[in-house]
Amino acid sequence: MSDPAPSTIDRPGQVASATPPAPGRSRRLSDRGLAVAFISPALLLLLAMSVFPLLWALYLSFTDYSATRGGPANFVGFGNYTAILTSAQVHLRALTTVIYVVGAVGLQTVLGFTIAYLISRRTHGRGLLTTLFLVPMMLSPVVVGLFWRFMLDAQFGVVNSMLGSLGLGQVEWLTRQRTALISLIVVDTWQWTPFIMLIALAGLTAVPKYLYEAASIDRASEWFRFRTITLPLVWPLLLIAVLFRAIEAFRLFDLVYILTSGGPGVSTETLSFHVYKVAFLGFNTGTASAYGILMVLVVIVLTQLYLRYLNKLKED
């Protein structure tokens, strides 16, 4: 294992002298040297802390290694992979994760865009409004999870208390199959709608004014303007935001851990949560590694999409 010692970095100050020396003959070379010296420490750290562990996990994923039981890691070929891909338990978690990702990201996209649109039409107080709306996004998932758990408590939670004063009955937010997943989606939406809003707002404020002016001369209907001017211009940015959120939502662990710990039964267990159970409850490290590698593959596909759209965006 290479120890990513930060001391290897070249401090710019050490080489520089006070007076400008004669222009160096080997400028090309020194540029290259400089690039290597500046880039390699960061890359080495990433190789040591991201790539190397991942390769290790890749190796373990072909074995039956267990972190607690010790003993040699026996090679099992693709045994772990086939077991995971054919396991009904995994399919169940995959379905839960898909519902969660689609539900949460869909909801926050609609809401986030709506809020951004409404804010973009205001002349006054936009800065203040934006800042206020952004608060949930800055909170730690731990704080968000704990607090919603408190608010959604069926007995003394404030949400049921308010429903009660409206004459509605108690809802078991966290302990019924449907409502628990919905609660998870709602909490995630609460926290991350501001994210979509922020990016959509950036797109909306960038729509050149003259386009609207031209359209209003043409007496185009508002819906027409929205569809033909606003949306096409904001769409690429919005897509970036959606992909970004999808990646994040796919990785979700902490909110489940705190809000429902996967319950009732296993109906809110996401793939991440299941990996945790395999890895740290049963300590089936080999299986968990294979499971993790498969998840990473999904993330890589999503990331590729993300980067492709990003590229397109930058080229426009």
Partner 1 sequence: MAVSVNEAVSPGPVRDHPPPARRRSGRGRTVLEVALLTVLAVVMLFPVLWMIETSIKENRDVYAVPAKFFDFKVTLDHYRDVFVASGGGRSTLSVSFLNSVIVAGVSTVLATVLGVPAAWAYSRFAVRAKKDQLFFILSTRFMPPVVVVIPIFLMYRQVGLIDNALGLILIYTAFNVPFTIWMMKGFVDEVPAEYEDAAMLDGYTRLQAFRKFTLPLLVPGIAATAVFALIFSWNEFVFAIFLTSSDDVRTAPPAIAGLIGGTTVDWGLVAASSVVFALPVLVFAYLVRKHLVAGVTLGAVRR
Partner 2 sequence: MRYSKRTGRLSVPGRKVRLATAAMLLVTMTTAAACSDGQDDGAKASAPKAPATIPELTKDPLTLSFIWFEWPPAQALEAFANEEYKKERPNATIKVNTVPNANWHDAMFTQFAARKTDFDIAILDSQHIGEAVTNGNILDLTDFVKTNIDVKAYNPYLLAAYGQFPQAETGKRDENASLYGLPLLGDTWTMIYRKDLIGDKPPQTWDEMISAAEKCQADNPGVSGLAFHQANGSDAAAVTYNTVNGVYGGNLWDAKTRKIQGVINDPAGQEAMDVLVNKMKPLTAKGSGNWFIDEVNAAVAQGKACIAFNWIAASGGLLDPKQSTLGTTRNQILDKLGFATLPSQKTNLVPLGGMGMHVSAYSSPANQAEALNFMKWFERADVQKKWAAAGGVPSRTDALESPEFLNAGPFNRVYADSVPRMRDMWNVPEYARLVDIENTNVNAALNGAKKPKEALDDIAKEQQSVLDSSSRKGGGGL
64 scored as a contact of partner 2 (CB under 8 A): yes
166 scored as a contact of partner 1 (CB under 8 A): no
For partner 1, which stretch binds (CB under 8 A), given 81-89, 94-102, 137-145, 174-182?
Answer: 137-145
Q: Are 200 and 239 in contact (CB under 8 A)?
A: no
Contacting residue, 38, 78, 224, 235, with partner 1 by CB under 8 A = 38
- 180 vs 200, beta carbon nearer partner 1: 200
- 75 vs 280, beta carbon nearer partner 1: 280
38 scored as a contact of partner 2 (CB under 8 A): no
Phi and psi, residue 75, nearest 5°: -75, 130
Using CA atoms, how far residue 64 sits from 68, 123, 288, in Å, is 12, 62, 10
Q: How far is the CB of 90 from partner 2 (least distance, A)?
A: 6
56 scored as a contact of partner 2 (CB under 8 A): yes
Q: Using the 8-state DSSP alphabet, how is residue 8 labeled?
A: G
82 scored as a contact of partner 2 (CB under 8 A): yes
- 87 vs 130, beta carbon nearer partner 2: 87
85 scored as a contact of partner 1 (CB under 8 A): no
Q: Can you say how many angstroms the Cα of residue 268 is from the centroid of all Cα atoms in its chain? A: 18
Contacting residue, 70, 127, 167, 169, with partner 1 by CB under 8 A = 127
142-168 burial: b if 16+ Cβ within 10 Å, else e: eebbeebbebbbeeebebbeeeeeeee
Nearest to 191 by CA among 244, 152, 242, 137: 137
Q: Rule CB under 8 A: which of 87-116 touch partner 2?
A: 87, 89-90
Q: Rule CB under 8 A: which of 117-156 touch partner 2?
A: 153-155
Give the helix/strand (H/E) hosting 215: helix 209-217
- 173 vs 190, beta carbon nearer partner 2: 173
- What is the rounded CA–CA span in Å between residue 186 and residue 188? 5
120 scored as a contact of partner 1 (CB under 8 A): yes
DSSP per-residue codes, 71-130: S---B-TTHHHHHHHH-HHHHHHHHHHHHHHHHHHHHHHHHHHHHHHHHHT-SSSHHHHH
- 126 vs 277, beta carbon nearer partner 2: 277
Q: Rule CB under 8 A: which of 208-227 touch partner 1?
A: 208-209, 212, 215-216, 222, 225
> Which amino acid is residue 39, in one-letter code?
I
Q: Within 10 Å of residue 214's Cβ, how many Cβ atoms?
A: 13
Interface residues with partner 2 (CB under 8 A) are 1-2, 47, 51-52, 55-56, 59-60, 64, 66-73, 76-84, 87, 89-90, 153-155, 160, 170, 172-177, 260-267, 277-278, 280-284, 286-288, 290, 314
